[in-house]
Structure 1
Amino acid sequence: MSTGSTHPPSTTGPALPRGLVANPRLSRWVSVGRDGTVTVRVGKVELGQGILTALAQLAADELDVDLAAIAMQAASTAEGPDEGLTAGSLSVADSGAAVRQVCAQVRALFVAEAARTLAVDPADVTVRGGVASGPDSLRTVTYGELTDRVDLDRNVDGSVRPKAVPESRLVGTSVPRLDLPDKITGRPRFIQDLALPGQLSGRVVRPPSPAATLTEVDTAAAHALPGVVSVLRDGDFLGVVAQDEESAERAAAALAGTARWHEEPTLPDEDDLSRFLRDSPTESIVVADSDLPDTQSDLPDAPNGVVRRIRASYSRPFLAHASMAPSCGAARWDGDAVSVWSHSQGIHGLQRAVALALGLHADQVSVRHVESAGSYGHNGADDAAFDAVLLARSVPGRPVHVRWSRRDELTWAPFGSAMVADVEAGVDATGAVLSWSYDVWSQGHTARPGYAGSPGLLGAAHRDRSRPVPPPVDPPVQGGGGTTRNATPIYTFPHRRIRGHRVLRTPVRSSSLRSLGAYTNVFAIESFMDELALAAGQDPVAYRLAQLADPRAREALSTAAELGHWDRRGTQDSVGYGIGFARYKDRGAYCAVVAEVEAVHEVRVRRLAMVVDVGRVVNPDGVRNQIEGGAVQATSWTLRERVRFDRWRITSADWESYPILRFSEVPQVDVHLIDQPDEPSVGAGEAAQGPTAAAIANAVADALSVRVRDLPITAERILAALDD
């Protein structure tokens, strides 16, 4: 409920959230039905992170309606705003700010119309549950009754300020997730459940290896099978369309049996990825360039008191998304226009990429988001959707539903790039860091649809081998970076040089994976901080605090040490405690993690104590769920996951060859939130990745007195480190 204030115009004319600059029309975001239902359309998509619930809370608070009156519509290119990607832990910060501003102005328009209807001053109008009343409360009018008289087909102007924190009813509370009832009861909701009228099933036959080219194929045998509607060859793209999934599977197997391919060994040596990355041609990315010589070895000791130089290298392998449900897509051609259903993180980018690949105008392509079983970046969603587009073109008017196999998902979806980082510090007599040099190498972290002028779609690359696929790029440093994301330490080091090296030769397909380069960079920086503390003979937490000025960072780190039972460190044999800390993208969520690890026959993470500061908390349970999920995934990456390949092809094609953390191995995860109601809200989805990895690595070193610098931390790598 809110009393009379219509939130007076701002005299300073605050800048609009960037989502509104690109999409200023109120009606693009909100519409009100005659029954009082408020339909809210956003450009961010539900990936299982609960974002639509959080945005609904913000909308309901600003409009003074009940949460049940809010209908969050799935993102669509035909309706709703273009907010770019749902990525980078930016949905609450960007879309949330836009929703608040839009709904504040919509409320003001309805209050003004209610005042005219009730013949009262707008300042005397009270709104509760979408019902407006005057000062006597005897006469009322609902949003639904006013909707035909309120014109939302106008631009937002920023003249109405969103509500102050004390006026919130729903924001800051753990309202139940809007999407969970369907998921708990098993009602069809996911794209795998999609059943469009007249729907057919499609399957794609992939090449046997990334560099393989098709030399011959006989389509007749597949076409002759019962239930087969179409068999398609388009360059090196092969696929079938059938009446049902079983028929499509049989036809795809028959087609694959007749295909002949030319293959070449183009992949790097899996066991020497650091050399591959360092020796490849690169683009340099300068993040910080202090007054250091070309190498720290040239830095004289006397001017700044450097008495010792310490250096180390850290690495990670290629990582798969490894979603529990393989990717899926659907499409239908109607004349020269195509409708697409996809669980893409960027439906507008997919729209433009499909148009680019097929020589269409973007308005000939419409894309609607349908949920899948989670996404951690650029997985196979866009590729599966384009598979459906190509197959559906051979059966006009009929929708084609394409499911990827587990093998497709684990061998053809883009991976998170392998990375290697070299770090060197010059320290004074107390062990404090005076100079810091950091170099990190990786392939690019963005090959999403439409990148670098390329469609960026697997099927598009296979159907036209004459168009070289550009190497993946990185977001700009000011946008968070990719290779260099979180490469800048949060600590107060006086001299620092930080450089990224984006590899321009990419035989292994890579793109965005949760947190991009931050997982590796935080793992490397925070592992090295522990090594520096050990060299200085200091407690790792105290060592960090001594070089940490940010008060919010200090609170998060100190609280994590307390809740993580840091005082128990060193009291149990084969049990170690480690800490990891970072502020995501240097401006997002603070996350501090204390890991409790037992290392006897194998490494077992017993507990993760996590302290998180995301500014103003919109939905506490939602934040905890995101942090816990990120921590469990990071634990799996740190202890288990590694893409395997030989010189020809990816060989980790199932759960046996690409193992992930089992339910029985999941640690206890305790998440403590530091609410900062006067600070802007930031996202939580990627904040836990790097700090969790570093905390586990540091805990293993504490338990075993041996440092593993190359992920994953397996028994074999621990034994190798013991032998060094």
Structure 2
Amino acid sequence: MNEMINRRKLLQAGGALIVTFSLPMARAATPAAEKTLSPARVDGFLAVAHDGTVTVYSGKVDLGTGVRTALTQIVADELDVPMNQVTIIEGDTALTPDQGTTSGSFSIQNGGMQLRRAAATARRALLRRAAAQMDRDISTLLIRNGVVTAAGGEGLPIGSLVEPTALALDIEKDAPQKAPGDYTVVGKPVRRLDIPDKVDGRFTFMQDFTVPGMLHGRVVRPSGFGATLVSYDESSIADIPGIVKIVRISNFLGVLAKSEWSAIKAAEQLKVTWSSWSDLPDQSKIWEHVRNTPVVHDDVTSRLGSSRAVLGAAPRKLRSTYDFAIHTHGSIGPSCAVATFTDGKLTCWTASQATHDLRKQLAAMLALSDADVRCVYVEGAGCYGRNGHEDAAADAALLARAAGTPVRVQWMRADEHGWDPKGPPTLLDMRAGVDPQGNLAAWESELFVPDGSATFVPLTGAELAGLNSLGKLSPGGVLNDLSIPYDIPNVTTTAHRLQSTPLRPAWIRSPGRLQNTFANESFLDEIAASIGADPLDIRLQHLEDARGKELLERLAKLSKWRERREPDRNAEVVTGRGLAYVKYELVRTYVGAVADVEINRKTGALAVKRFYVAHDCGQIINPDGLRNQIEGCVVQTVSRILKEEVTFDRSMVTSLDWASYPILTFPEIPEIVIDLIDRPQEVPWGGGEPTCAVVPSAIAGAVFEATGVRLRSVPFTPRKVLAVLRAS
């Protein structure tokens, strides 16, 4: 096999071959010497070719959210080149700067603004070069459609200004950026660049990605999370054609075959003996287990006034507890990766949302230097936080090293549901005190969540193999939005950080923000009901933030909140409306939502019929893409709130398919009405997560209006709804 030719084909297939640099191709895992990876340099992010095309190197990746289109808009507008002349390379550790994990709705807010500053610096550099060549004052020159144009009509294409060091510049923080009024594509509803190929079936997802000569691998999972491998019978798969190898590394057991079907059959048929293990808690007593888990330390996330004293003296006290079940990511396309290990160097094609971090983890697992590992991003079919893609990459890397040839690992549904990391169980105790005048005087909350905020989640394959992957307990930013956005004179919010949690945790869409906002907003509704206040009015009364107030007023107008009718609670099918608000993490995107629901009082069936959303994330880059994000937040979170809960026995997860872990179906999707508040003069914030946070409490508030009962335990299944109705 001609290594040079085949490695070039591999890079072309992975989207890593670029036209603006001459890259050494003989080592797929070797970074190009001519290409800086510095996030402080223009050429870390951008390259301009002689034909005027622009290549963008983005450490932030598109997880199916449309970020690629928005980033293209940002660069095209700031450099003033047509969008079709801009190409983005994402998440290739040999070519793109490390901009951190693609998470937390920071791709535009942080990653996009880095690109904007780099493009603004490049724009000024190109104008300076053109001014020198044309002997003109720089202030008389403009760039339009990729051409530097002088007042008299003379023009120079930007590609003609490019030399090897033209963009080898430090990014200038003060490089003048376009005024919002001068943007031509930013702020416009540009159709997503990825959708046509996805609709036509031409798009290459990670699950579709192949390389020549690869084998297919499957990992045989233990019978329990802590079970150890006792023995296996190789002869039990002797009748399956194309079996190449069985790989055992401690408790990691994998099979390699020439075809995927043979690998699947071998993993199913291989006779394996595992030790017994049953140390998971009894799920029926999960909240008792959470309360009894040792507390490592407490984090007081806000303290104002003397909440304990005021609460103790208050003539009216309210107290409620909210719980939020363990959720899996439930990616509809199970995780996948391809890896090759040659001459002591690893290349891994992966849908990881954090290729630069994964590179470090794979290097640690295989005892390699970071420089000997290259991770190349290929978009996966589904990612809602840190799901199983990194773990599939570890599986592929271990098997590729053992095989000495490229290996593709495609997880099955049971792998994804059973072995991806989970959103941890979350418990919140809420207390409030109302003074003699009926004013909300004191607020306290206590959150029970796992400790840890590590960058790296342990890789399952590494754990089974007894190898280091740098991972620690890492449930995500679960303290965010425990503090409240409202002006209350006496407040204390405390998080009890727990020593452990039943299942391996990781961040799942809107981690912590979703659970904490559910409790905060639902409890505020309870307080409003106790003092006879409208849910909208109590929020406006306790808000000092002008943008927040404006958003709520626009939401009220959008949903006709003040025109709603008193529901008939005696009908078999009752309807109600609920309202919720968040200022995400108290520092960015504002979202308000109203939910319209129907509840069948006989069956407990709950349907969300309509969602109204008012959304303010500052400057909007792509209104169409932002609407996609908001709609996705609503649909997925309605699914999580109405249906989703991981089940497990004392050994492992038992909700291993869509029957045991149901999600929302198309007929159940609500109508979604959106009011986008564009603020072109403000910084852009994110839209990928914030709307999630207001969904559960809006639904819960609507159920209360319809029935007079409170739902405090997610998910709101018919069984739970009936139980609460019968107890009322």
Task: Report whether the alignment pairs 1:492 with 2:487.
Answer: yes
Task: Report whether the alignment pairs 1:289 with 2:297.
Answer: no
Structure 2 counterpart of 1:243, from 239, 258, 269: 258
**Alpha-carbon contact 2:62-2:68 (below 8 Å) kept:** yes
Tell me by how many angstroms 1:384 deviates: 0.2
Letter of the structure 2 residue corresponding to residue 597 of structure 1:
V
Q: Which position in structure 2 is the counterpart of 1:203?
A: 218
Q: Taking every aligned residue pair, what percent have the same amino acid on both sides?
A: 37
**Alpha-carbon contact 1:436-1:496 (below 8 Å) kept:** yes
Tell me by how many angstroms 1:22 deviates: 6.2
Structure 2 counterpart of 1:58, from 36, 55, 74: 74
Measure the CA separation in 2 of the matches of 1:330 and 1:24.
31
Letter of the structure 1 residue corresponding to residue 493 of structure 2:
I
Q: Which position in structure 2 is the counterpart of 1:577?
A: 577
Calculate the TM-score normalised by the size of structure 1.
0.91
Distance verdict in 2 for CA 1:571–1:434, change over 3 Å: closer
- State how many pairs are aligned: 683
**Alpha-carbon contact 2:452-2:472 (below 8 Å) kept:** no
Q: Which position in structure 2 is the counterpart of 1:3?
A: none
Tell me by how many angstroms 1:290 deviates: 3.5
Measure the CA separation in 2 of the matches of 1:417 and 1:607.
29
**Alpha-carbon contact 2:305-2:489 (below 8 Å) kept:** no
Other structure's SS at 2:653 match: coil
Tell me by how many angstroms 1:133 deviates: 2.0
Other structure's SS at 1:644 match: coil
Tell me by how many angstroms 1:270 deviates: 1.6
Tell me by how many angstroms 1:474 deviates: 5.7
Deviates more, 1:569-578 or 1:200-209: 569-578
Measure the CA separation in 2 of the matches of 1:223 and 1:389.
25
Structure 2 counterpart of 1:412, from 419, 424, 437: 419
Distance verdict in 2 for CA 1:377–1:289, change over 3 Å: same
Q: Which position in structure 1 is the counterpart of 2:201?
A: 186
Measure the CA separation in 1 of the matches of 2:37 and 2:545.
32
**Alpha-carbon contact 2:591-2:616 (below 8 Å) kept:** yes
Q: Which position in structure 2 is the counterpart of 1:403?
A: 410
| Cα distance per residue 1:431-456 (max 9 Å; x no partner) | 3221111111122575653x5xxxx1
Letter of the structure 1 residue corresponding to residue 581 of structure 2:
F
| Cα distance per residue 1:107-166 (max 9 Å; x no partner) | 1111111122222121111211111122210x3211112212652223223241222211
Matches within 5 A, 1:502-651: 502-573=497-568, 574-600=574-600, 601=603, 602-651=605-654
**Alpha-carbon contact 1:26-1:155 (below 8 Å) kept:** yes
Measure the CA separation in 2 of the matches of 1:318 and 1:266.
17
Q: Which position in structure 2 is the counterpart of 1:34?
A: 50
Q: Which position in structure 1 is the counterpart of 2:150?
A: 134
Distance verdict in 2 for CA 1:489–1:421, change over 3 Å: same
Distance verdict in 2 for CA 1:665–1:209, change over 3 Å: same
Structure 2 counterpart of 1:89, from 88, 92, 105: 105
Measure the CA separation in 2 of the matches of 1:338 and 1:21.
19
Q: Which position in structure 2 is the counterpart of 1:689?
A: 692
Distance verdict in 2 for CA 1:711–1:507, change over 3 Å: closer
Q: Which position in structure 2 is the counterpart of 1:375?
A: 383
Measure the CA separation in 2 of the matches of 1:679 and 1:161.
16
Structure 2 counterpart of 1:125, from 141, 151, 157: 141
Structure 2 counterpart of 1:270, from 283, 297, 309: 283
Measure the CA separation in 1 of the matches of 2:478 and 2:434.
26
Tell me by how many angstroms 1:681 deviates: 0.4
Measure the CA separation in 2 of the matches of 1:91 and 1:655.
31
Tell me by how many angstroms 1:723 deviates: 3.5
Tell me by how many angstroms 1:562 deviates: 2.0
Distance verdict in 2 for CA 1:229–1:109, change over 3 Å: same
Matches within 5 A, 1:2-21: none
Q: Which position in structure 2 is the counterpart of 1:252?
A: 267
Tell me by how many angstroms 1:603 deviates: 0.9
Calculate the TM-score normalised by the size of structure 2.
0.91
**Alpha-carbon contact 1:447-1:510 (below 8 Å) kept:** no
Letter of the structure 2 residue corresponding to residue 79 of structure 1:
L
Q: Which position in structure 2 is the counterpart of 1:110?
A: 126
Task: Report whether the alignment pairs 1:461 with 2:475.
Answer: no
| Cα distance per residue 1:285-308 (max 9 Å; x no partner) | 111233437x56x8553xxxx331
Measure the CA separation in 1 of the matches of 2:290 and 2:478.
12
Distance verdict in 2 for CA 1:471–1:108, change over 3 Å: closer
Measure the CA separation in 2 of the matches of 1:270 and 1:555.
44
Other structure's SS at 1:73 match: strand
Measure the CA separation in 2 of the matches of 1:237 and 1:300.
56
Measure the CA separation in 1 of the matches of 2:677 and 2:480.
24
| Cα distance per residue 1:339-362 (max 9 Å; x no partner) | 001111100000000111121100
Measure the CA separation in 1 of the matches of 2:324 and 2:488.
26
Tell me by how many angstroms 1:221 deviates: 3.8
Letter of the structure 2 residue corresponding to residue 581 of structure 1:
Y
**Alpha-carbon contact 2:220-2:253 (below 8 Å) kept:** yes
**Alpha-carbon contact 2:299-2:495 (below 8 Å) kept:** yes
Q: Which position in structure 2 is the counterpart of 1:16?
A: none
Distance verdict in 2 for CA 1:438–1:113, change over 3 Å: same
Deviates more, 1:523-532 or 1:280-289: 280-289
Q: Which position in structure 2 is the counterpart of 1:704?
A: 707
The runs of 5 or more residues in structure 2 that have no matched partner are: 1-35, 569-573
**Alpha-carbon contact 1:265-1:648 (below 8 Å) kept:** yes
Other structure's SS at 1:35 match: coil
Measure the CA separation in 2 of the matches of 1:149 and 1:290.
57
Q: Which position in structure 2 is the counterpart of 1:427?
A: 434
Letter of the structure 2 residue corresponding to residue 239 of structure 1:
G
Q: Which position in structure 2 is the counterpart of 1:9?
A: none
**Alpha-carbon contact 1:270-1:644 (below 8 Å) kept:** yes
| Cα distance per residue 1:17-72 (max 9 Å; x no partner) | xxx99621211110011111100011101101111111111101110111111111
**Alpha-carbon contact 1:419-1:440 (below 8 Å) kept:** yes
Letter of the structure 1 residue corresponding to residue 714 of structure 2:
L
Tell me by how many angstroms 1:720 deviates: 1.8
Letter of the structure 1 residue corresponding to residue 341 of structure 2:
W
Deviates more, 1:273-282 or 1:612-621: 273-282
Deviates more, 1:154-163 or 1:654-663: 154-163
Distance verdict in 2 for CA 1:132–1:291, change over 3 Å: closer
